[in-house]
């Protein structure tokens, strides 16, 4: 398991492009329940549901696929299951 995590951290995707970091940044914003926020959540949700990263080093023609380790996939699925908009559907 340790080797899988080390491989993940050696992934060339920058920290700010990883879904978990995007999620943390998004959660820290004040404008949490706006329509734009819903769109951002849907994009993050789709990234959490995939078991890989698509990484473009320079452009579309050199795209690489990096598989997420099982530990990261489980964490992503857990975060995805905690939909922050779920409770707001019942308030209105």
| Structure tokens that stand for 41 in this block | 């959540």
pLDDT digits (tens, 9 = 90+) for 38-65: 888 899 999 999 998 877 777 667 777 8
- Structure confidence at residue 9 as a pLDDT band (50, 70, 90): low
- Structure confidence at residue 67 as a pLDDT band (50, 70, 90): confident
| Structure tokens that stand for 49 in this block | 């549901």
pLDDT at 7 over 70: no
Range of the domain at 83: 2-91
pTM to 2 decimal places = 0.72
Alpha helix positions (H), 1-92? 2-9, 19-27, 35-49, 70-81, 88-91
Q: What radius of gyration do the chain's Cα atoms show?
A: 15
Q: What total number of domains does the chain contain?
A: 1
């Amino acid at each position: 398991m340790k080797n899988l995590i080390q491989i993940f951290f050696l992934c060339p995707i920058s920290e700010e492009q990883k879904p978990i970091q995007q999620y943390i940044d998004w959660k820290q914003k004040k404008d949490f329940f706006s329509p734009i926020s819903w769109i951002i959540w849907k994009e993050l949700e789709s990234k959490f549901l995939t078991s890989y990263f698509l990484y473009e080093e320079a452009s579309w023609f050199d795209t690489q696929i990096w598989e997420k380790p099982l530990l990261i996939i489980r964490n992503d699925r857990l975060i995805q299951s905690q939909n922050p908009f779920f409770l707001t559907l019942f308030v209105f």
